């Protein structure tokens, strides 16, 4: 018998491989571990690592962390120098006028901050440190370079310290973000520029006039509607400053987003004074935001896609971390069933699409409608003006941003009639 017969065909074998250890991948890993499912998780980066983002962590992130392990949330609350609690959001209309909307839970004021702002280099590292190494085999600094579906499973090739190795998995979780290789290789889905934002981010120190309660600020500038310019406060007098715009509009209008951002900082009457003493700590960097506004397949034979790999970013707010973590939580349940039955068919894994869209689609669809409404500059200015002059309306509006049923009202012509007559 030749020695080759005893050589293994693959360097490693496992039931589940996760590609990417950002919020989607790390959360999948943590929930799989809770269910006792062993797996391998790859990331081409080593942690801590940066990710271009606004760094805003919404209430959905808080809810998933609570499900994961309530103690994790207390760890965040205990480190305000890294995780800054945020109590609300400030919306500024294109005319520069704005409203403050405190975050609430089901209309009730809350005791702990309902959201956070934390640099992704810190938040993602925090999640990765909570991966359970008894169930997970983390392979960082390992880039997945090819993926092939074969009758015996999915074969992934990865580069580790200059060497090329292979792993055979029964199924793969695509958590590789906007350019996830699982999405690129195992699906033919292409996101249209109507459903894609381009985003830029920079870090500044000493931006003045920050809101009490560390409110995050969305400034809806004329040039980028329905996108916005943002200022999100960070610990130690730092701020995450950025801008997002639909790719469709960037192409149509042939604009340079970086120039629009820097012009707003230098010239916009509602913004420029705030930056007079500010210092850029890290320059402008860009990345894409695949929006959830178009329903798409999230699974197939031997794979599921979570987070940005499945285009799950809220089309109005641009928040993707919450949906990345929530999709991971749902996916872990379906993966556990697949492993238990040793069945990785498209029909079994499609349960993930169904469960996720059942929970998220109403919210996403509504956000998409609001995104389209705010493209009308006059309507946006009008709503903000009216809210500023009527406290009762302001309270109703505040509830809308915290409660999905209330948000439905934004679609109703009656809401705008009420605004018109200022009741
Ligand atoms: C400018 C900007 C601002 C944003 N602001 C906010 C905000 O304030 N709040 C919010 O909630 N969301 C925001 N988002 C969206 C948010 O960043 C994403 O939704 C979120 O990062 C999705 O997490 P993820 O785990 O799916 O992907 P990612 O965070 O992108 O993680 C993917 C991981 O996969 C790894 N990977 C990729 N390819 C490979 C490979 N071949 N092999 C191995 N590993 C690989 C990467 O190294 C990375 O670690 C913003 C996005 C942008 C671009």
2 band by pLDDT with thresholds 50, 70 and 90: very low
Closest residue (by CA) to atom 18 of ligand 1? Answer: 320
Pull the structure tokens for residue 102: 């405190």
DSSP-derived pairing of the beta strands 39-43 and 136-140: parallel
Residue 287 near residue 178, CB atoms below 8 Å: yes
**Secondary structure letter of residue 211 according to DSSP:** P
Angle at which helices 321-341 and 59-68 cross, to 10°? 30
pLDDT in tens, 309-352: 999 999 999 999 999 999 999 999 999 999 999 999 999 999 99
Kindly report, residue by residue over 220-271, the tens digit of the pLDDT: 999 999 999 999 999 999 999 999 999 999 999 999 999 999 999 999 999 9
- Examine the fold and report which residue of 244, 268, 290 is the final residue of a domain before the chain moves on: 290
Please tell me the distance from the alpha carbon of residue 255 to that of residue 30, in angstroms, as a whole number.
42
Query: What's the 245 CA to ligand 1 centre distance in angstroms?
Result: 17
Q: Assess whether 38 and 145 both reside in one domain.
A: yes
Backbone angles phi, psi at 116, to 5 degrees: -135, 160
Q: pLDDT by residue (tens digit) across 211-228?
A: 889 999 999 999 999 999
Strand ranges in 59-176 using DSSP code E only, listed in sequence order: 84-86, 88-92, 98-102, 115-117, 136-140, 142-150, 153-160, 163-174
CB of 287 closer than 6 A to ligand 1? Answer: yes
**Residue 1 domain flag:** no
Other CB atoms within 10 Å distance of the CB of residue 10: 16
Domain-located, residue 390: yes
- Residue 24 lies inside a defined structural domain of this protein: yes
SS (H, E, C) 298-320: CEECCEEECHHHHCCECCCCCCC
Domain boundary among 332, 352, 371: 371
Query: 199 in a domain, yes or no?
Result: yes
Test site for ligand 1: of 28, 177, 327, most ligand atoms within 8 A of the Cβ: 177
pLDDT digits (tens, 9 = 90+) for 101-143: 887 655 555 678 889 999 999 999 999 999 999 999 999 999 9
- H helix or E strand, kind and range, residue 257: helix 257-267
Q: Which residue, chain included where needed, has tokens 């934390």?
A: 118
The answer to whether 55 touches 176, Cβ cutoff 8 Å, is no
- In our burial notation (b when 16+ CB lie closer than 10 A, e otherwise), range 333-365 reads ebbbebbeeeebeeebbbbbbeebbeebeebbb
Q: Ligand 1 in contact with 227 (CB < 6 A)?
A: no
Here the CATH number for the domain that contains residue 49 is 3.50.50.60
Residues with Cβ within 8 Å of residue 8, at least 6 apart in sequence: none
pLDDT at 422: 47
Looking at residue 105, what DSSP letter applies?
B
Residue 52 Cα to ligand 1 midpoint, Å, equals 7
Please tell me whether residue 322 adopts helix, strand or coil conformation.
helix
Q: What is the mean pLDDT of residues 52-75?
A: 93
Which residues, at least 6 apart from 376, have a Cβ–Cβ distance to it below 8 Å? none
List the beta bridge partners of residue 285: 201
Whether 203 shows a pLDDT value over 80: the answer reads yes
Total domains in the fold of the chain: 3
One domain, residues 261 and 280: yes
Alpha carbons 404 and 29: distance in angstroms, whole number: 29
Same domain, 182 and 330: yes
Distance CA 167, CA 118 (A): 34
Q: Residue 174: CB within 6 Å of ligand 1?
A: no
Residue 3 lies in a domain: no
Q: Residue 45 CA: which ligand 1 atom is closest? A: 47
Residue 277 and residue 298 in one domain? no
CA 151 to ligand 1 centroid distance, Å: 31
**Complex ipTM value:** 0.99
**Is the Cβ atom of 230 under 6 angstroms away from ligand 1?**
no
Q: Which helix (H) or strand (E) holds 250?
A: helix 247-253
**Cα 5 to ligand 1 centroid, rounded to whole Å:** 42
Domain closes at, from 274, 290, 306:
290
The CA distances from residue 18 to 233, 259, 304, 382, in Å, are 32, 38, 10, 47
- For ligand 1, whether the C-beta of 199 sits within 6 Å is yes
Cβ–ligand 1 distance for 43 under 6 Å, the answer: yes
Q: Is 53 in the pocket of ligand 1 (CB under 6 A)?
A: yes
Tell me, what CATH number does 99's domain have?
3.30.9.10
Greater confidence (42 vs 385) lies with 42
Domain that holds residue 203: 83-113+193-290
Residue 23 CA, ligand 1 centroid: distance in Å: 7
CA distance 381 to 416: 13
**Mutational test site, ligand 1, from 24, 42, 56, 320, max ligand atoms within 8 Å of CB:** 320
- How much distance in Å is there from the Cα of 37 to the middle of ligand 1? 24
Same domain, 90 and 200: yes
Helices (H) and strands (E) in the chain, counts: 13, 18
Does residue 106 sit within a domain? yes
Residue 257 and residue 247: Cα distance in Å, rounded?
Answer: 10
Residue with CA nearest ligand 1 atom 30: 177
68 and 150 both lie in a single domain? yes
d(CA 216, CA 89): 5
pLDDT of res. 1: 39
SS3 call for 202: strand
CA 183 to chain centre: 17
Confidence of residue 423 (pLDDT cuts 50, 70, 90): very low
Distance 344 CA to ligand 1 centre (A): 26
Tell me, yes or no, whether 225 and 276 share the same domain: yes
Long-range contacts of residues 153-161, Cβ cutoff 8 Å, at least 24 apart: 153/302, 154/17, 154/302, 154/303, 155/10, 156/17, 156/19, 156/42, 158/42
The alpha carbon of residue 55 and the mean position of all alpha carbons in its chain are separated, in whole angstroms, by 9
Q: Does any ligand 1 atom lie closer than 6 A to the CB of residue 270?
A: no
Q: Given the DSSP bridges, would you call strands 163-174 and 12-19 parallel, antiparallel or unpaired? A: parallel
Determine whether the shortest distance from the Cβ of 289 to ligand 1 is under 6 A: yes
Residue 312 beta carbon below 6 angstroms from any ligand 1 atom: no
- Domain shared by 61 and 87, yes or no: no
């Amino acid at each position: 018998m030749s020695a080759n017969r005893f050589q293994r065909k693959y360097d490693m074998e496992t039931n589940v491989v996760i590609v990417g250890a950002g919020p989607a991948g790390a959360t999948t890993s943590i929930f799989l571990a809770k269910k006792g499912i062993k797996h391998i998780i790859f990331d081409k980066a080593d942690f801590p690592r940066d990710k271009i983002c606004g760094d805003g962590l919404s209430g959905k992130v808080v809810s998933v962390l609570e499900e994961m392990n309530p103690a994790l949330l207390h760890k965040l609350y205990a480190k305000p120098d890294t995780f800054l609690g945020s109590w609300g959001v400030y919306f500024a209309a294109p005319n520069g006028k704005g409203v403050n909307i405190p975050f609430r839970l089901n209309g009730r004021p809350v005791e702990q901050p309902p959201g956070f702002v934390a640099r992704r280099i810190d938040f993602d590292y925090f999640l990765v440190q909570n991966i359970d190494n008894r169930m997970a085999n983390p392979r960082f600094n390992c880039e997945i370079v090819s993926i092939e579906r074969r009758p015996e499973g999915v074969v992934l090739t990865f580069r580790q310290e200059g060497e090329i190795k292979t792993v055979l998995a029964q199924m793969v979780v695509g958590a590789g973000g906007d350019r996830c290789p699982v999405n690129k290789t195992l699906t033919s889905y292409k996101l249209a520029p109507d459903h894609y934002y381009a985003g830029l981010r920079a870090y500044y120190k000493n931006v003045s006039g920050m809101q009490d309660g560390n409110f995050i600020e969305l400034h809806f500038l004329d040039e980028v509607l329905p996108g916005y310019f943002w200022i999100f406060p960070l610990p130690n007098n730092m701020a995450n400053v950025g801008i997002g715009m639909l790719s469709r509009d960037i192409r149509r209008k042939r604009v340079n987003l970086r120039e629009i951002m820097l012009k707003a900082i230098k010239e916009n009457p509602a913004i420029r004074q705030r930056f007079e003493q500010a210092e850029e700590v890290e320059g402008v960097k860009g990345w894409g935001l695949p929006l959830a506004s178009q329903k798409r397949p999230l699974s197939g034979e031997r794979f599921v896609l979570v987070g940005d790999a499945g285009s799950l970013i809220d089309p109005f707010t641009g928040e993707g971390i919450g949906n990345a973590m929530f999709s991971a939580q749902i996916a872990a349940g379906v993966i556990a069933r697949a492993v238990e039955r040793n069945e990785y068919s498209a029909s079994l894994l499609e349960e993930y699409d169904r469960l996720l869209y059942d929970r998220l689609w109403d919210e996403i669809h509504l956000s998409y409608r609001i995104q389209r409404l705010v493209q009308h500059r006059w309507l946006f200015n009008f709503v903000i003006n009216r809210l500023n002059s009527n406290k009762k309306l302001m309270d109703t509006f505040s509830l809308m941003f915290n409660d999905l049923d209330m948000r439905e009202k934004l679609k109703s012509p009656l809401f705008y009639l009420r605004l018109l007559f200022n009741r």
